[in-house]
Structure 1
Amino acid sequence: MDGTKLISSHYCILLILVLLQLFFSTSLAAVNSTSTPISPNVACNATMYPKFCKSMLPRNDTSNIRDYSRFSVHRSLSAANKFLSLINKYLRHRSTLSITAIRALEDCRLLAGLNIDFLLSTMTSLNATKPLLSYETDDLQTLLSAILTNQQTCSDGLEATASSWSLKDGLYTPLSNGTKLYSVSLSLFTRGWVRKKNKCKSCDEGRKLIFSEMEHVRHGPLPLRMSNSNREIFESASRRQLLQTNGDDVLVNDVVVVSQNGTGNFTTISDAVAAAPNNTGIDSGYFLIYITAGVYEEYVSIAKNKKYLMMIGDGINQTVITGNRSFVDGWTTFNSATFAVVGHGFVAVNITICNTAGAIKHQAVALRNGADLSSFYGCSFEGYQDTLYSHSLRQFYRECDIYGTVDFIFGNAAVVLQNCNIYVRLPLSYQFNAVTAQGRTDPNQNTGTSIHNCSILASPDLASSNGTTNTYLGRPWKEYSRTIYMQSFMDTLINPKGWTPWSGDFALNTSFYAEFNNSGAGSNLIDRITWPGYHEINATDAANFTVDNFILGDDWLPTTGVSYTGGLL
């Protein structure tokens, strides 16, 4: 063949390939465009429940993905209201129910009420005329993720209540349909508004440099800005001289003191919480509750209307809040907590929270946290099974101590634990230890547990035992469980396999477990499990689970005064 013709032929083929690629990429972009009309079938096929989705969306209609999302959220709000009415109907006949059934239903009532709030907020934002900013998109994905978590928690609580089978018969269908509807709403919203996280390594390196320069490690009081009268109250009670800085201080609106000897404003923490104003904003400043040293035997609950509360104690093992509720004694895991918080923007500093039920009582929560944009700094959480329940929304823990045995860091929040000490205790003789049990149920949830620059150590009782207890980094509680250990120290207590199944092969393919650049004898990867869901990740992927990227910490942590590192070390 003539050489010129051969070259021309190659050019023609290359041109055709380029044109085909351009055509298909343009067509794909058109299909994925948020303003392009698509059929309900096309919109639903990418959800977890295509058949249910198609039955729910308007038939013979062609809308764009965002319109379908708005419609689905509206349907979800209607379903949430109906479910709350159903729960209230059962509770009106509480005289016929066992105490455990009543407690499970009360959990469901609380969670359904939160879902209605979240859906109202989501619908208002989606119906607004202005486009969503990136942080607003993250807010709404967080709320829709939490709605699914709340629904699952209600279902789990009823399932674990042995005497409530008759209840479950009447609640199973609305629970199941609600879960499907909320999943569809989250999926359609994610396709319509959520952009993929930035995975630019050079960008992440740049952020790391910036945040390393911004880092202010505080070992003393937070830099609080308050009126002179409030400052006198706080310093008189705490005998501290507060650090005051320019431009980096925390606005405090009011200060009250809790002291058991009667020298403060209140003798119990719960009374101080009740006195806090309702539904305040961050611009008004924190309502600061200073808790003097002592052991407070009470169950503390920060309700959803108690926003931007800050609690400061006298230090770990000095200010101690303690309770002993447990699953064995008839409490649901959800309401076994010594300290429970759902109020937005909560901050706690220098406090110990305990559940003293002991290993023999199984599930017994010290802290249950379902508060968005909440942070705990220099705190300690002590229990055995299910110590720290990072239930939902976005959370941050810095320089905290966490003690436990089985699944003792669990839940389905988007949470980062940074510079924390994780102490594994001696379990019952027939038990093994699992540090985490993450509860992500849907691939579109922006949740997971990120453990960054922490130390995983044996507590004295485990260290002095005969050494036969197996300790694992985690196990998949739910189908899309997601946990990442980054730049952390793992001592010899960690089993070489690293991770252990929940039951059979459940979630081994769909979970996401990852490790990056950890140290210590327990970090050796040679004998790690080989599940499809397990990954040894690089710095680019690990950067997605840092404070700055995973919980958008730079947008809200500066107002708390809590120290943090935004990127990788």
Structure 2
Amino acid sequence: MVALIAISVHNKDGNNAEHGNEVAENSLNPSSRKNVEMLCQPTIYKETCKNTISKAAYETSDPKELIKTGFNASIEELEKIMNNSTLYAELAKDNMTRQAMDICKEVMDFALDNFYQSIDKLSAFELSKFDEYTYDLKVWLGATITHQQTCLDGFEKTNTQAGGKMAKALNVSMEMSSNALAMFTDFSNMLKNFSGNVNRKLLYQDGDGFPSWVSEGRRRVLQFGPDGVKPNVTVAQDGSGNFTTLTEALKTVPKKECCSLCDLRQGWFV
């Protein structure tokens, strides 16, 4: 971790930062400023990233804590949208739009759960369980983006301007979610480069041939193979499945249901 803090990463983004944010960055101590640059360099929305974590960098230079700040900022933005009763009252004016809004509430609740799980996992991050922790975090963070996109997909068949308004409302949270995944992915890659000895330990196999860090649930899935795992629901646009859209399929999934072959939350195979 000390080695990571000392890394200096050149920001390749050609855009100029806003004056206020530039002043804030320049007033950081060198170690914190380097870490902000390092974490935001792989993100698509660099200015959003810097605005999100620069304030926290005054209090800590720990990259892991700065990433958690990004997670918490995403949670706050999502909760602000979910608690915006004016927005919901304005958009849910007809039956189709109300249905889309109901889906939004449900999937954004899933997205919040994924962020809270990610914070807990990152807080307990152990190099001895590097691959397992990294896998879980990438799945959960990726799911936060998918859930928000599913919310927007629900407006495709509506005849109002609600979809555009919801897309505008979700713009910042989508940027933050994308940044959160990019920051953690790049950070985990750097950690992996510094943990060669730990990685060799992770390759130790139990009697069943799987690495010791592979959980029981995932072992069962791997043992069944692709032909042995049957989906609960199949989505196919050509009509050959149970549903033609993901939005319709999501309505059938019990909240926080887990399939017997999978140890990931919301583990239905859709």
TM-score (norm 2): 0.60
What corresponds to 1:115 in structure 2? Answer: 111
Taking the aligned partners of 1:89 and 1:132, their CA distance within structure 2 comes to: 47
**1:188: which partner in 2?**
183
How far off its partner does 1:97 sit?
1.9
| Residue 104 (structure 1) aligns with | 100
Give the direction of change, closer, same or farther, for the CA distance of 1:373–1:104 in structure 2 (3 Å limit). Answer: closer
Q: Which runs of 5+ in 2 are unaligned?
A: 10-30, 194-199, 211-215, 218-229
Match of 1:155 in 2: 152
In structure 2, distance between residues paired with 1:43 and 1:31: 11
Q: Which residue of 2 aligns with 1:336?
A: 248
Q: 2:174 is matched by which residue type in structure 1?
A: T
Out of 54, 57, 66, the position equivalent to 2:53 is 57
Given the superposition, is the C-alpha separation of residues 148 and 103 from structure 1 closer, same or farther in structure 2, using an over 3 Å criterion? Answer: same
How far apart are the structure 1 equivalents of 2:110 and 2:70?
18
TM-superposition CA deviations, 1:455-493 (whole Å, max 9, x none): xxxxxxxxxxxxxxxxxxxxxxxxxxxxxxxxxxxxxxx
Change (3 A) 1:56 1:71: same
Aligned equivalents of 1:340, 1:169: Cα separation in 2: 26
CA positional deviation for 1:112: 0.9
Asked whether the equivalents of residues 49 and 184 of structure 1 are also in contact (C-alpha less than 8 Å), the reply is yes
Inter-partner Cα distance in structure 2 for 1:39 and 1:184: 15
Separation in 2, partners of 1:130, 1:50: 28
Partner amino acid, structure 2, of 1:161: K
Aligned length: 209
Larger Rg: 1
Partner of 1:178: 173
Structure 1 residues 371 and 66: CA distance shift in structure 2, 3 A: closer
Q: Which amino acid aligns with 2:171?
A: S
Q: Cα offset for 1:79?
A: 0.9
Which residue of structure 2 aligns with residue 136 of structure 1? 133
Paired amino acid for 2:170: L
- Alpha-carbon offset, residue 175 of structure 1: 1.0
1:307-350 deviation per Cα after TM superposition (whole angstroms, max 9, x unaligned): xxxxxxxxx9xxx99xxxx99xxx993342384355343138xx
Contact in 2 for aligned 1:47/1:188 (Cα 8 Å): yes
**Aligned match of 2:71:** 73
1:156, distance to aligned residue in structure 2 (A): 2.4
1:150 Cα shift?
0.6
Q: Look up the match of 2:120.
A: 124
Q: Deviations over 1:348-383 (max 9, x none)?
A: 8xxxxxxxxxxxxxxxxxxxxx954556xxxxxxxx
Aligned to 1:44: 40
1:164 partner letter: T
Residue 73 of structure 1 deviates from its aligned partner by 0.8
1:477 paired residue number: none
CA distance in 1, matches of 2:159, 2:36: 41
Report the secondary structure of 1:68's partner residue.
helix
The letter of the residue matching 1:340 is: V
Q: Matches of 1:332 and 1:108 in 2, distance apart?
A: 19
Inter-partner Cα distance in structure 1 for 2:100 and 2:47? 31
- Comparing both chains, which one has the higher relative contact order based on Cα–Cα distances under 8 Å and sequence gaps of 6 or more? 2
Distance 2:86 2:174 in 1: 20
CA contact (8 A) 2:5 2:61 kept: no
- Give TM-score scaled by structure 1 length: 0.31
Aligned residue for 1:340, secondary structure, equals coil
Q: In the alignment, is residue 146 of structure 1 matched against residue 143 of structure 2?
A: yes
How far, CA to CA, are the matches of 2:260 and 2:69 in structure 1?
36
Matches within 5 A, 1:293-372: 333-337=245-249, 339-347=252-260, 371-372=265-266
Distance 2:101 2:248 in 1: 14
Determine helix, strand or coil for the equivalent of 2:54.
coil
The 3-state SS of whatever aligns with 2:253 is strand
Q: Matched residues in 2 for 1:132 and 1:163: separation? A: 52
Alignment of 1:356-505 (within 5 A): 371-374=265-268, 390=270
CA distance in 2, matches of 1:186, 1:84: 21
Kindly indicate whether the alpha-carbon contact (under 8 Å) linking 1:345 and 1:371 is maintained by their aligned counterparts in 2.
yes
Q: What secondary structure does 2:44 align onto?
A: coil
Q: CA deviation at 1:44?
A: 1.2
Instruction: Kindly state the Cα deviation for residue 172 of structure 1 after the two structures are TM-superposed.
Output: 2.7
- State how far apart, in whole Å, the 2-side matches of 1:132 and 1:89 are: 47
Equivalents in 2 of 1:120, 1:28: separation in Å?
25
Larger strand share, 1 or 2:
1
CA distance in 1, matches of 2:117, 2:259: 20
> Residues 114 and 141 of structure 2 are in contact (CA less than 8 Å); yes or no, is this contact kept in structure 1?
yes
CA contact (8 A) 1:65 1:191 kept: no
Superposition deviation, residue 196 in structure 1 = 5.7
Aligned mates of 2:37, 2:43 — CA distance in 1: 10
In structure 2, give the amino acid aligned to 1:31: I
The alignment partner of 1:192 has SS state of helix
Partners of 1:129 and 1:336 lie apart in 2 by: 36
The Cα of 1:185 is off from its aligned counterpart by 1.3
Measured after TM superposition, the shift of residue 51 of structure 1 is: 1.9
Matched letter for residue 140 of structure 1 = L
- For residue 37 of structure 2, give the secondary structure of its aligned residue in structure 1: helix
More helix by share: 2
